[in-house]
Amino acid sequence: MEEIRCGSCRKLLMKAAGQAILGPVDVKCPRCGTMNCLRPAAIVPVKPASDRLERPTQGDSSCGSTSRTRPIRKTV
């Protein structure tokens, strides 16, 4: 856990894991009122869209298929 402190008065503002802050965050110190602008140390690259798995094609009989082999009977 990393301690995030105010740049002016050193008051503890939050504790965060190493890669918890993914984008810019502004935190106002409750003690002195200073706006602390937090930025991630390194931007984590996002996987390109080409690495994602594609959905199965229409003819593929995998999980999630809507076609049924026999009708559903309603019980009364």
* Contact between residue 1 and residue 16 where contact means Cβ atoms under 8 Å apart: yes
Distance in angstroms (rounded) separating the CA atoms of residues 70 and 55? 25
Domain boundaries, the chain: 2-43
pTM of the model: 0.51
Over residues 8-66, the pLDDT tens digits come to 999 999 998 877 888 899 999 999 999 999 888 766 566 666 666 667 666 555 555 55
Which amino acid is present at 6?
Answer: C
Q: Which residues contact 13 (CB under 8 A, 6 or more apart)?
A: 4, 5, 6, 27, 29, 36
Distance in angstroms (rounded) separating the CA atoms of residues 11 and 35? 12
Tell me which H or E stretch contains 3: strand 2-5
Over residues 59-74, the pLDDT tens digits come to 555 555 555 556 667 6
